[in-house]
Structure 1
Amino acid sequence: MAFEHAPAKLNLALHVRGRRADGYHDLETLFAFTAFGDSLTAEPARDLSLTIEGDFAGPAGQGDDNLVLRAARLLQRETGIRTGAALHLTKRIPVAAGLGGGSADAAAALRLLAREWGVERSRADLTAMAAELGADVPACVASQTCLGTGRGEVLTPVDAGVAGMPVLIMNPRVPVPTGPVFAGWDGVDRGPLDPELHLGELRNDLEAPAVALVPAIATMIEWLAAREHCVVARMSGSGGSVFALFRSMAAASAASRAVPAEWWSAYTSMRQPGGDGGPQ
């Protein structure tokens, strides 16, 4: 049985610069990844199939539209491979949560099946292929800290200085659809994202419209910001998950133990360069 980790994605910052004629938005975002995530396994089979277990298996959906199966079919189409695979996903990342769960799973499927099927494709090839599956999928292929521009698919590796830092992620247990959040953006360009700046000087321009839909997001950010030794507290992506980076594991652990029961949470660390993560 072959295994692949699908690290959860965080947007350490997300600056919306404008609306595009194609309906998308021009973004500048700082992608980073955690040691927490989903797990994907594959066994040889004649056809493609997918089973899902875990806390968020139901919302993830096991139909043909699941991004794992779409990624597998895309790889088959692009390479001419006719081999199948029995895929099994352990779903730990909340769905519609701003953590890139579906994107991470699709990227894991591309990496895993390219390896198992003996597909001679470079990481750059897989990244280009991933853009067909969604704006966040290319970043998830490498799962390394990078600056994303365009729709988020134009990637430049950066060092945000967060590798190995303890992080606490929280979610109000309310799915937050991406479309309505972007539709609620006020259209004001508040300036570019400079990855050289301290994270506290950056922002997420989608926080305000997400909070308008789910006020608990603001409550969680305020709660995290008040924890001892919190470096930065912010919403990830289009919500509704929020995160806080801490100066010490002890401070993050203390905050994790104090999370109110009504909120989902995961206490983990930021992924190290070249690391394969592993669920925590």
Structure 2
Amino acid sequence: MIEERAPAKINLTLHVTGQRPDGYHLLDSLVVFAALGDMVRVEEAETLSLAVTGLMAAGVPDGEDNLVLQAARFLDPVRGARIVLEKHLPSAAGIGGGSSDAAATLRALSALWGVPLPRNCLSLGADVPMCLAPGAQRVSGIGEGALPLSGLPSLPAVLVNPGLSVPTPDVFAALKEKNHPPMPARLPALGDFGALTRFLDTTRNDLTAPASAQAPEIGTVLEALEDARIARMSGSGATCFGLYPDAAAARAAATRIGEAHPDWWVADTTLNPAP
């Protein structure tokens, strides 16, 4: 059996800089991955199958609608494998769960079958290429431009989802202005918590307003994270993150928020964890 982690993807920034004629939006985003995530396990089998387990498995399809099976068929359309997806992340939550699961499947099956990873898997979704090599990166274009970034610190964080799924296409469709400024062409040194959070103060997530219009609970989540140094929505929502100066502060915040909102998904974790 081969195991691969599928970490949560967090957009520390998300600038929407334009829209292509085919409808795809152009982005400039600083992306990191969390210590927290799903798990994909694969083993040899004559036919291809998928079982979904874990605390967040409810409602996750185990058929061809799941990106995990689509990724397996993309890598090899005829070979079999038994795949188990252990879900710890909420779905359609702005943290790349399905894309990260697909990327982990590609890595696991590449090792199991002894075949190379695909050079271009953009057809599986714009987030899948960046999830293939989870690490800090600046993502541009529709997701195909992923420039690895070294030297970013590990970030104690709290992730919060109010139990909502916000469809990404609906959020982009509600975005009225499509041409926002990108981040600076040359990023400053971001080697410590202070430098990174000061830079983040100058950035934004352009999808926050349209997502919040559809899910006002996002505003309530951000208020619950008001003691964080930075509190922001990730991706197209509804998950938000808060950055804290140390792990103890993050744990305390997660406990406080979880007790106040027992129906929310709340987790303390580390973003960009050390290898």
- Which deviations, in whole Å up to 9, do the C-alpha atoms of 1:51-102 show, x marking residues without a partner? 001222132211112101000001004xxxx431100000111111001000
Residue matched to 1:86: 82
The code of the aligned residue for 1:158 comes to L
Deviation at 1:188, TM superposition (A): 5.0
Aligned-pair CA distance for 1:160: 6.8
CA deviations 1:152-193 (Å, max 9, x no partner) are 221111247232x21100001011000110011121533111
CA contact (8 A) 2:166 2:238 kept: yes
Pick from 93, 101, 104: which aligns with 1:105?
101
Query: C-alpha separation between the residues in 2 aligned to 1:192 and 1:160?
Result: 21
Structure 1 alignment gaps of length 5 or more: 276-280
Question: Does residue 185 of the first structure (1) align with residue 181 of the second (2)?
Answer: no
Instruction: Pick closer, same or farther for the CA change 1:138–1:158 going to 2, 3 Å.
Output: same
2: CA distance between counterparts of 1:188 and 1:18? Answer: 5
Cα deviation, 1:91-120, whole Å, max 9, x if unaligned, reads 11111100100000000000000011111x
- Tell me the distance in 2 between the aligned counterparts of 1:4 and 1:57: 17
- 1:16-35 → structure 2 map (5 Å cutoff): 16-35=16-35
8 Å contact from structure 1 (residues 67, 105) kept in 2: yes
What is the SS of the residue equivalent to 1:57? Answer: coil
One-letter identity of the residue aligned with 2:169: G
Superimposed CA distance per residue, residues 205-255 of structure 1 (whole angstroms, 9 cap, x where no aligned partner): 00000000011101111221x22xx22110000000000111011111110
Q: Is the 8 A contact 1:55 1:92 kept in 2?
A: yes
Matched, 1:69 2:72: no
Matches within 5 A, 1:220-259: 220-224=221-225, 226-227=226-227, 230-259=228-257
Cα RMSD (Å):
1.5
Partner AA of 1:142 in structure 2 = A
Q: Map Cα deviations across residues 5-50 of structure 1 (whole Å, 9 max, x no partner).
A: 1011000000001122101111111111000000011121001100
| Alignment partner of 2:142 out of 148, 151, 155 | 151
The residue number in structure 2 matching 1:168 is: 158
- Following TM superposition, the consecutive aligned residue runs of length 4 or more in structure 1 with deviations greater than 3 angstroms are none
The answer to whether the 8 A contact 2:152-2:272 is kept is no
Determine whether 1:60 maps to 2:50: no
Q: In 2, Cα distance between the equivalents of 1:10 and 1:236? A: 6
Q: Given the two structures, how large is their TM-score scaled by the length of structure 1?
A: 0.89
CA distance in 1, matches of 2:17, 2:248: 37
Does structure 2 retain, via aligned residues, the 8 Å contact 1:130–1:141? no
Q: TM-score, normalised by structure 2?
A: 0.91
Letter paired with 2:243: L
Select between 182-191 and 140-149 the one with higher mean Cα deviation: 182-191
Residue aligned with 2:44, SS: strand
Structure 2: segments with no counterpart, 5+ residues? 189-197
Name the count of aligned residue pairs: 261
C-alpha distance in 1, partners of 2:266/2:65? 27
Contact 2:18 2:180 in 1 (8 A): no
SS in 2 for 1:27: strand
Residue 132 of structure 1 and its aligned partner are, at CA, apart by 1.6
Amino acid at match of 1:155: A
8 Å CA contact retained: 2:43, 2:112: no
Give distance in 2, aligned partners of 1:89 and 1:104: 11
Q: Give the match for residue 278 of structure 1.
A: none
Query: Contact 1:131 / 1:138 at 8 angstroms: preserved in 2?
Result: yes
